[in-house]
Structure 1
Amino acid sequence: MKNIITLCLLVLIVFSCGSTKTERQSKRVIKGNWVLNQVTHNEKGDYNISLLNDANQDCFEGSNWQFIPNNNSGNYSLSSGNCDNLQRFFIFTIKEIDPTTGLYNFLLKPTNNKRKSETNHGFRIKLTQLSETNMQWQQTVSVDGKPFTLNMNFTKQ
């Protein structure tokens, strides 16, 4: 009897810590190759925007991304001729933040090719749209004490 109760408690703990059905579906949809087509922001004017502490906005537009959800890893390569187009690696997680709106937190941590982070620094981004063909990330930062929202629009290849 003790063994059955222990087993039931163990199963309950395992299933309560797992991903939600929506998160698993999101990982299936995100799997594959994507192109970051456009980076926009909510403020008028020209800004020198650096994404992921890596390169400027122009380098990221047209960049190629690959997501491998079975091990929560991926990579991207910048595309502009004036940018370092070496492959970059990352790990990611998707967490549903509000089941009624369908919004997710997307956590991305740059790593080396062996999935080890040199800085242990990551980025929290809202995954505001995800379909079989399109994805949008939204990140809000502070500029002069005011919110500054970046939108990154992807299409699936």
Structure 2
Amino acid sequence: MIKNSVLMLALALVVASCSLSKEVREQRKTINGTWLLEDVGYEGDGGSFKSMLFNDANGFCFEGSKWSFLENNSTGSYTIPTSNSVCPGGARNIRWSVLENENGNDKLQFKFIDEKKKDLYGRTGYRLEILSLSDSQMRLKSDVNVDGSPVSVIYNFVKQ
């Protein structure tokens, strides 16, 4: 009997420590659904440069891409339009979550998965700072270095 009680207490502690905060649960509910990435912009270093986002495609290829987030199983996808021969159009499957950040904005993180929901590249993934999030708009940011200078990539989404 005591052994079962200790086991139940240990299990309760593990479950409590893994639970999501109310803020993260609300963000996940808001993100749930289909979004259109309207614009990819840059802040920081002036000048002209070409960007490769998520080790996948040029930044301009992502404009007009559709992103789907399913809250119930933390999976989703994004689809790059096949509007020209430069952009590798098609769908990419992802597993996503919201990472709580006590020192600033929370982050949307994702990694690539296959059709069977298996991780494609080990523990490699991407984190985007959530600048703003509402029922109709989402603005994310990732910081990168270009020739030693900091540049922020800004992603502006609208909910479909």
Question: When the two structures are superposed, what TM-score results if normalisation uses the length of structure 2?
Answer: 0.87
- SS of equivalent to 2:157: strand
Q: CA deviation at 1:34?
A: 0.1
Query: Partners in 2 of 1:150 and 1:17 — Cα distance?
Result: 31
Shift, 1:110, TM fit? 1.4
Residues 29-68 of structure 1 aligned to structure 2 (within 5 Å): 29-42=30-43, 43-68=45-70
| Contact 1:97-1:105 at 8 Å conserved across structures | yes
Please point out which of 125, 135, 138 is paired with 2:141: 138
Any gaps of 5 or more consecutive residues in structure 2?
none
Residues in 2 aligned to 1:112 and 1:13: alpha-carbon distance in whole angstroms: 29
In the comparison of the two structures, how many residue pairs are matched?
Answer: 155
Contact kept, 8 Å, 2:37 with 2:62, in 1: the verdict is yes
Give the corresponding residue for 1:18: 19
Separation in structure 2 between the aligned mates of residue 6 and residue 118 of structure 1, nearest angstrom:
35
User: Match for residue 91 of structure 2?
Assistant: 87
* Superposed displacement of residue 9, structure 1: 4.2
How many angstroms does 1:5 deviate by? 5.4
The 5-angstrom pairing of residues 74-153 of structure 1 reads: 74-82=76-84, 83-98=87-102, 103-120=105-122, 121-153=124-156
Q: Which moved more, 1:63-72 or 1:9-18?
A: 9-18
Question: Is contact 1:139-1:151 (8 Å) kept?
Answer: yes
What one-letter code is carried by the residue in structure 2 that aligns with 1:45?
A: G
Aligned partners of 2:81 and 2:90 also within 8 Å = no
Q: Give 1:132 deviation, angstroms.
A: 0.5
Q: Give the % identical residues.
A: 34
Q: Take 1:51 and 1:144, find their aligned partners in 2: how far apart are those partners?
A: 16
Q: CA RMSD in A?
A: 1.8
Q: Take 1:105 and 1:48, find their aligned partners in 2: how far apart are those partners?
A: 25
Question: Counterpart of 1:48 in 2: which secondary structure?
Answer: coil
Letter of the structure 2 residue corresponding to residue 104 of structure 1: D
Q: Structure 1 unaligned segments of length 5 or more: list them.
A: none
TM-score (norm 1): 0.89
